[in-house]
Amino acid sequence: MEQLRLAVIAGDGIGPEVTTEARKAIRAAVDGVEVVETEYALGAAHYLESGEILEDATIDALRSHDAILLGAVGGDPSDPRLAGGIIERGLLLKLRFAFDHHVNLRPTKLHPKVQSPLREPGDIDFVVVREGTEGPYVGNGGAIRVGTPHEVANETSVNTAFGVERVVRFAFDLAEQRSKRVTLVHKTNVLVHAGGLWRRTVDAVAAEHPDVAVDYLHIDAATIFLVDRPSRFDVIVTDNLFGDIITDLAGAVGGGIGMAASGNLDPSGAHPSMFEPVHGSAPDIAGTGAADPTAAILSAALLLEHTGQAEAAERIRAAVDADVDARGDARRTTSEVGDAIAERIRASKEHA
Ligand SMILES: NC(=O)C1=CN([C@@H]2O[C@H](COP(=O)(O)OP(=O)(O)OC[C@H]3O[C@@H](n4cnc5c(N)ncnc54)[C@H](O)[C@@H]3O)[C@@H](O)[C@H]2O)C=CC1
Ligand SMILES: CC(C)CC(=O)C(=O)O
Ligand SMILES: [Mg+2]
């Protein structure tokens, strides 16, 4: 039987809670495929016990998997040993860089029955293509005279022609399969060097896609349109930092951060891609059963689609839609939502 070799990094906070439910959905959805799951106990607890965040040997072991399912990372915010995002940078960003996850794909699709904070949400169905390996997240910076009134702190945004072009090309190819609209989001009026590169790259790639409509928004104005008129968007392409920020906003207007899925892709297939909810480890609700696992479950659907299991992915999406349709006012726990969705997936297979 065909195998799907999954690495699971449940991580911290609500990460293990939502990942458990995503795994149930995967197991229920596949057909004729043996899912081989290997757990990697990485995150804040592993670091505090071992002093290691992500050993080279672990990166090598992760390479042998078809895909990685990740919950969320980031431990107790009050623990000074975890300050400075040491786990987020040393684990999550390190994996994105090591596995060349240059496309951070973040779809938003508002289900008709899900409440959006918007008054007239219209048809919200767009995808953010966020660059995942460059920008200000690469750790290119430094500070002098730290802690003094004369401190100077720099955080350089790295944007390469190679890195920008490949993600812009991905966005246009995606738009060709969707509603043929690409919006570049940046801040070219002040970030002139990086902005100029992004703008010129989009113009050059746009010339090869005459049927794709292209527009541009400064990041600040983009936040207005995401709230005011999100139906104007189809594919948004942007850098690592702006993409991080607007995808939390997109999650909120798209039905809640607990429903926002993402994939960190190496489209070349040379490295395993990694799938995770957009949200973080949510320490404020960890252990309470209040976490919505839908984002993790929809991330599992992206994972299955990416690994050639399109039918299984569709089963998950249909089960999530049905679950959302049936949602009433009663509060359900994380595992109740996950069990209900897994049950719907199984039932859809039996009735197929
Ligand atoms: N991909 C990752 O692993 C990410 C990790 N982080 C880390 O997570 C920790 C917490 O970060 P925050 O800024 O608080 O962002 P967060 O996304 O963890 O939480 C923001 C708010 O959304 C709520 N929330 C998040 N996921 C939810 C879910 N599934 N269901 C219901 N409510 C949910 C939380 O309760 C909180 O009120 C930090 O250590 C941060 O660095 C943050 C973002 C992404
Ligand atoms: C460590 C952060 C870059 C994680 C995050 O907020 C994200 O990828 O959305
Ligand atoms: Mg984020």
Statement to judge: residues 7 and 24 lie in one domain? yes
Q: Tell me which of 219, 254, 289 is where a domain ends.
A: 254
Statement to judge: residues 139 and 249 lie in one domain? yes
- The reply, when asked if residue 283 is annotated as ligand binding, is yes
Which residues form the domain of 55? 1-101+262-352
What's the pLDDT tens digit per position in 243-283? 999 999 999 999 899 999 999 999 999 999 999 999 999 99
The ligand that comes nearest to the alpha carbon of residue 282 is: 1
Atom 24 (ligand 1) nearest CA? 282
DSSP codes joined into one string, 126-193: EEEEEE-S-BGGG--EEEESTTSTT-EEEEPPB--HHHHHHHHHHHHHHHHHTTSEEEEEE-TTT-HH
Q: pLDDT band at 111, cuts 50/70/90?
A: confident
Our answer on whether the CB atom of 337 is closer than 6 Å to any ligand 1 atom is: no
Q: Tell me which of 228, 254, 280 is where a domain ends.
A: 254
Region 138-154 average pLDDT = 97
Q: Would residue 34 count as lying in a domain?
A: yes
Atom 23 (ligand 1) nearest CA? 282
Does the pLDDT value for residue 155 go beyond 90? yes
Statement to judge: residues 162 and 215 lie in one domain? yes
Q: What is the mean pLDDT of the chain?
A: 96
Is residue 244 among the annotated active site residues? yes
The predicted pLDDT at position 113 comes to 80
Does the pLDDT value for residue 327 go beyond 90? no
Q: What is the 8-class DSSP label of residue 254?
A: T
What's the pLDDT tens digit per position in 176-194? 999 999 999 999 999 999 9
Statement to judge: residues 217 and 287 lie in one domain? no
Which three-class secondary structure state does DSSP give residue 42? coil
Statement to judge: residues 330 and 295 lie in one domain? yes
The predicted pLDDT at position 120 comes to 62
Q: Would residue 28 count as lying in a domain?
A: yes
Q: Residue 120 CB: number of other CB atoms within 10 A?
A: 8
Question: What's the CATH code of the domain at 72?
Answer: 3.40.718.10
Q: Would residue 109 count as lying in a domain?
A: no
Our answer on whether the CB atom of 91 is closer than 6 Å to any ligand 1 atom is: no
Q: Full-prediction pTM beyond 0.95?
A: yes
Q: Would residue 107 count as lying in a domain?
A: no
Sequence-separated contacts (24+) of 149-154 with Cβ below 8 Å: none
Statement to judge: residues 274 and 244 lie in one domain? no
Query: Do residues 157 and 241 lie in contact, with contact meaning Cβ atoms separated by under 8 Å?
Result: yes
Cα–Cα distance for residue pair 350/348, rounded to 1 Å = 5
Statement to judge: residues 249 and 140 lie in one domain? yes
- The reply, when asked if residue 163 is annotated as ligand binding, is no
Which three-class secondary structure state does DSSP give residue 57? helix
Does the pLDDT value for residue 226 go beyond 90? yes
Statement to judge: residues 167 and 57 lie in one domain? no
Atom 9 (ligand 2) nearest CA? 244
What's the pLDDT tens digit per position in 196-218? 999 999 999 999 999 999 999 99
Q: Would residue 18 count as lying in a domain?
A: yes
Atom 7 (ligand 2) nearest CA? 244
The predicted pLDDT at position 119 comes to 59
Q: Tell me which of 227, 254, 281 is where a domain ends.
A: 254
Our answer on whether the CB atom of 292 is closer than 6 Å to any ligand 1 atom is: yes
Is residue 137 among the annotated active site residues? yes
The predicted pLDDT at position 127 comes to 98
Q: Would residue 111 count as lying in a domain?
A: no
The predicted pLDDT at position 1 comes to 82
Q: Would residue 19 count as lying in a domain?
A: yes
The structural domain count of the chain equals: 2
Statement to judge: residues 244 and 280 lie in one domain? no
**Which residues crowd ion ligand 3, with CB under 5 Å?**
244
The predicted complex's ipTM stands at: 0.99
Sheet holding 261-265, edge to edge: 33-39, 2-11, 67-72, 273-277, 261-265, 103-109, 125-131, 235-238, 181-186, 213-218
The predicted pLDDT at position 129 comes to 98
Statement to judge: residues 6 and 26 lie in one domain? yes
What's the pLDDT tens digit per position in 62-97? 999 999 999 999 999 999 999 999 999 999 999 999
Statement to judge: residues 241 and 128 lie in one domain? yes
Q: Would residue 218 count as lying in a domain?
A: yes
Q: pLDDT band at 121, cuts 50/70/90?
A: low
Crossing angle (nearest 10°) for helices 15-29 and 310-326: 120
Statement to judge: residues 240 and 276 lie in one domain? no
Residue 262 C-alpha to ligand 1 middle, in angstroms? 14
Region 41-65 average pLDDT = 97
User: 187, 239, 266, 323: which one is catalytic?
Assistant: 187
Q: What is the 8-class DSSP label of residue 91?
A: I
- The reply, when asked if residue 289 is annotated as ligand binding, is yes
Q: pLDDT band at 242, cuts 50/70/90?
A: very high
